[in-house]
Chains A and B, each alone.
Chain A
C-alpha cells in the first residue's frame, strides 16, 4: 500500500466498513450482535453500541475513551443521558472494550464532514506510528481533546436521541397511541395526558426491534437538563479511598514482576548480557533480552529491580553515542540555513508577499526562539501486565489507544488481533504518552517467555529516558512594521512540523505572511505531548507579537486587540481575561503582568499572568484564564482542565528540559526533571464564555498560552526577553538580566 492521503485513508475505511461510518451511533441491536457478549448480560438489551439499558432501569453509557483525569467518562455519559432523557441517578458508565466496533467512527465522520477543526494529527497516528493498524477502524484514541467535540457531539448525543426515539416508538406501538402523545423523562415514557407509563427497561426489548432513526432531532441548548451542569464526576470517589484500579494495580493470579533497562542511546541494540552477575539473587526467575532492552523477571518488583541494577549488560555502540544537545541545536540551525539557501523551504502558510512587504517596511524586527525536548512524566510509571494462554494474550494496562495496543501486541506475537484482549484500566496520567504501545509490546514479549502472567513496571528513570518527546526546536521570526508601527509582514521559519496544522497560525490581521519550515534528522523519538505543536508555537508567536507591541511602544493587550479585526471570539476572551485581571492597574514593585492568546482544539483561550521577581527567580502569583469552548458541557470539569493545563504549561515553561548528553537523555527522575509543586502553584481563576458555535475541547487548550503569558510578564517586570525555555536557565533581576546560564 502506498502512502495514504488522509482522504483516501478515510475513504478506504468507509468502503471497508460499508454504511457503518454514517451509522456511527445509530446501531440497531442486530448490527451489534457480536458485541452483545462483551458488554451485555443475558437479560440486558443492547440498544446500540453506545449505551445499554439494564432490567433495573440503569442506563450504561459505553464510552470509547480512556479516563485519565479529564472527566471524559462523566461528560460523555452526560451528553448521552441528556438526549435520552435518562435519570442521571441511574446512569452508569463503562469504558468500551477494545473492539473494532468501538473505533472512533465519530472522528472519521468529523473528517468526512470536512470539518476544519478536525485534529488531523490523529490521522497521522495511524499513518505513521501504528504501522500495523492498517485499517482506520483500529483507532480508539483518547487524545486531541476530541472526546467532547467529536465522540460526544457526533456520537453520544445522537445515540441518546435515537435510543429515546426508539423507546418512544416502542411505547406508542405497545399502547397503540400516537407517538406525539408521549413524552420521555427521567428514565420513563409516559402519556402526556393520560395514565400510561413504563420504564425504559420495560420498553427496551421492544425498542431494540424498532428501526433506528438515522437523524434524530437533538435538543437545543434551552432544552438541556444535564449538559451544562457540573454533576459530580463518576470516577472521583474511588480516587479518594484507594479503590480505583490503575494499570499498575491489576492483579492476575500467579503473576510475577518484571522491570526493564533499555539502551540509553535510542536505537542501540543489546550486545551481551552476563547472567552470572546476578546468580543466586533471591526471587529472580528469568532474564529476557528484547530488541534494545533487557528485562528481569522476579517474584516481586523490588527483587527484579535489585537484580536489574546488578545485571551486567553491554549495549552496542553507534554514531549517536557522541551526540550532545548542542549538536542537535546546531543541526537545527543548519537545516534552517540550508533550506533558505537552497530554496527548499516547506511552505506551511503564505498570504500576500511577505518578502516584499518586509523589504519595504519602515522597521524590521528579528528574533530567534528555542524550546527543549520535554517528557510527559505521568505520575503512574509505565506498566503493563500480560498473560499468554490458550493461544491468546490478555493485557491489563492504561492506554489512550487500546485498539492500537491490541494491534501492536498481536503483530509482535504474530497472532490474530481477535486473540488479544485489552483490559484498559484508569490511567495515572497520559498527556499523550499512553498513546504509544511500546511498554505493552514489551510486556507481551516477556510474558511469551514464561508460563505465568507478568507485570512489567518501568522505573521512573526508564520513564524519563525512554519517552516519545515533545520536540526541541528553533523558530525564527522577522516582522516588518509600517510607519504607524503596525505589522505588515510576518515571516516565521522553524524546524519540524507535526500537528495540528493550524498551530502556527496567528489570528492577527497581517496581510503578508510566510510561515515555512525545514525538517531535521535526530535520533530522539517524537511524541504527542499535551497540546502537541501548540505547546511550542503558542510560546513563539505570542512572545513575538509581544515583542512587536513593545517595539511599537504600545500596550501588548491593546496592540493585540487592534489586530483582531473580524476575530470576535479571540477578542472576547482577550477582553475578558484582561478585564478580570484588571489590566493596566498598578502592580507592586518587582511585579509584572503578561498576556497570551491561543486557539487550540476548537477552544479560544486568553491568559494573564502576574509574576513577582524575587531573588532572581520568577514566582507566578496569579493566573486569570478566559476560555470560549463554544459551550461548556461540564463547567467545573472545564475549569479543572484549565487549572491542569496551566500548571502543566507552567512546569514546562519554568523547569521543563530534557537534554541529550552522549546520545542519551541526561535527566532521570523528579530531582532533575522538576515538576511544579504546591508552594509554586499560583492562584488560578477561570472565566467561561459560552460563545456558541462548534463545541471545542478542554484537555489541551489550557496549556499553549501560559508560557508566553509568563515570559511576557517577566519582560514587563524586568525588561528582559526570554527567548529560550526553560526559564530556570535564566537568572533575573529587578532591573533586567543579571546573568544567563544556558546549558
Chain B
C-alpha cells in the first residue's frame, strides 16, 4: 500500500473512521509509545524541573497521554479535527489547537522548554495547491522559523518522521539549519528494516562552553530487538543478564549423568 501522505492531505486522510482505527490499533499504540519515550529521552530535559512542552501533530493524544503520565504540562496541535475529537474523548490534559503547522505558529518567543513530534513532518513534503505558500520549502521554512522562536534557549526539539528518500532528509535538515537550529539526524537501528527510526534532533542555543552534542542512535539487530526500546530499560535488561544470578542448568554433573545413562542404554 502506498504511504498515507501520498493518498490525501492529513485532515482528510485522518477522518472520523481512520482516526478511531488509528487510535485503537494496539500495534500503532505500542510503536507511538516507544517513539514518544525515545523522543523524551533525546529531549534530555533537566531532571526534577517540570517542563512545558509542545506536541506537534498531537493527533488523538497517544503521545500526549505519555506526557501526562510523565507529569509534563503540554500544548498540542493538529490539523485533523477528527483526531482532536478523539483526543477530547480520551480526556488528555494538554490544551489542543486546530492548526496547520506549515502556516507557522503564533507562540511568543521562548514559550516552551522543548517540543516533540511523532510521525508528522513527512506530511509537510506534499504540496496541496499551486499557491506559493503551499510549496514544501515555504511551509518547512515557516514551520521551523516559528518553532525556533517559540522555544527557549537552551532547549531541544525532537521530531521523529518517516522520510522516503535521502533528498527529503537533506531538504528538511537544511531548512531547519537555516531557521537557526543546531543538531541533526539521529537514526536508531539503522541496519534493521523494521525497527529503523529517524529522529531530527534540533538544538536551540547552548553555544559557548557547553556545546550541545548530537546523541547516538541505538544499534543492534532486528531479530534481537524487533522494536525500538527505551534505552534505560535496555540497560536494565542488560545488567540483569550480566549479573548472572541464574545457574546454568547443564552443568558438569548433568553432563556426566547424561553420559552414564546413554552408556547403560547402549549396553542393553
* A is bound by B: no
List the interface of chain B (C-beta within 8 A of A): none
A-side interface residues toward B, CB under 8 Å?
none
